[in-house]
Amino acid sequence: MNTYDAVIIGGGACGLMCAVQAGFLGKRTLILEKNEKVGAKILISGGGRCNYTNLYSTGSNFISENEHFSKSAFSQWTVEDTISFFETYGIKGKEKTLGQLFPESNNAKDIVKVFTDLCSELDQEIICSAEVNTVEQKADGTFQVSFQYHGKAKEITTPKLVIASGGLPIQKMGATDFGLKVARQFGLRITETAPALVPLTITGKDAEWYAQLAGNSIFCRVSNDEINFEENILFTHWGLSGPAILQISSYWKPGESIVINLLPHDDITGLIELERKRNGRKTLLNFLADLYTRKFAEALQKFLPVEKNLASLTRDDLNEIDHLIHHFSVKPAGDKGYDKAEVMRGGISTDELSSKTLQSKKINGLFFGGECVDVTGWLGGYNFQWAWASGFVIAKQL
């Protein structure tokens, strides 16, 4: 078998960027990828369009035990670097909402093609259908990597090993706990992992109320003690989804409530006062149906005297309405789990890695990048920005 400067485990966003950047620096790498093709998650990302970075990405869009850890990587590989890298290879970005950048072609395949073309140009080898089972460090410091290739056991030795095998979400797309396993094997600490950017479930007596609203979407401010997000929420048959819910899910812990402000940029009491001067006979139901959907207004019947007309609402009614609209409290039963999560929260502790190189402080030659590290981005292209940046940083060390 050929020799390589490094073996990269995982042909996802981080592994592909790492191989290409190493190639630019004259290094030769081998990517071992479990799936039949590389870039599975890139292909499904952003609904097949790939939100590949965010124009406003800063350190505060990432969750980690050490919020400063990612600064070094993001200063070495900036959002502008991502944009100009893809532009160089024919992909112009188009901003959708909130700084989210997508390829103008709206096709995630174009992103993957940049990497597969470059890997072949730069002689970076990719072996697909190759699931790595174990890695061992030998006495001379090199790593022996054992993998299954079309049912056959294979081995390769490498001086440097890059773990870019991703996080736990979506097993059927190739996700494994391999990165966490390797970390444990080498005695590296792992911070608690959990599904993130994930829909939240409602069970019990309230479940039916949410289910009847499935498909309704409302612009809200969703908050907990730590943070708030202003985007849409979406009612579903099993609870709540939509961007604002996915965002808060990364900060939510089982047993906690979240508070939803259903009218974040207005004051409901003020609006009612105004409207009742104009048309006091209007029912609260019709008033709410104008603000939201009729279905949602009807569902609020469970909590509010919607049949009353605006003129007859008492001070207590107004207080009740104000509280419900601006402080709608929800206690999710749980989340939809790794099958529906976009990302994993937690992972290999940043204490274990050099922030400058992403090399293990304990094990020379061992690097971790991408989602398996305890750096989790918000929804909106941030997670790819971390994957590209971490792949780039590691490549410089190979």
Give contact residues for ligand FAD (rule: CB under 6 A): 9-15, 32-35, 40-41, 44-46, 50-51, 131-132, 164-166, 169-170, 174, 176, 178, 342-343, 370-371, 381-384, 387
Q: How far is the CB of 5 from ligand FAD (least distance, A)?
A: 19
The Cα 340–Cα 198 span in angstroms is 6
Q: Which residues are registered as beta bridge partners of 31? A: 8, 126
The Cα 50–Cα 106 span in angstroms is 8
Looking at the Cβ atoms of 41 and 276, the one nearer to ligand FAD is 41
Cα angle 179, 398, 66 (rounded to 5 degrees) comes to: 50
Distances (CA, A) of 377 to 61, 70, 175, 251, 380: 6, 11, 18, 11, 8
Name the residue with the smallest CB distance to ligand FAD: 12
In 292-314, alpha helices (H):
294-299
Q: How far is the CB of 329 from ligand FAD (least distance, A)?
A: 29
Looking at the Cβ atoms of 43 and 207, the one nearer to ligand FAD is 43
Residue corresponding to tokens 């961007």 = 243
Please give the structure tokens belonging to residue 284. 């609260």
Q: How far is the CB of 299 from ligand FAD (least distance, A)?
A: 29
Q: Which residues are registered as beta bridge partners of 29? A: 6
Looking at the Cβ atoms of 39 and 292, the one nearer to ligand FAD is 39
Q: How far is the CB of 68 from ligand FAD (least distance, A)?
A: 20
Q: How far is the CB of 178 from ligand FAD (least distance, A)?
A: 4
Looking at the Cβ atoms of 213 and 371, the one nearer to ligand FAD is 371
Q: How far is the CB of 322 from ligand FAD (least distance, A)?
A: 37
Please give the structure tokens belonging to residue 226. 């730590």
Looking at the Cβ atoms of 246 and 299, the one nearer to ligand FAD is 246
On whether the CB atoms of residues 180 and 193 are closer than 8 A, the answer is yes
Looking at the Cβ atoms of 127 and 333, the one nearer to ligand FAD is 127
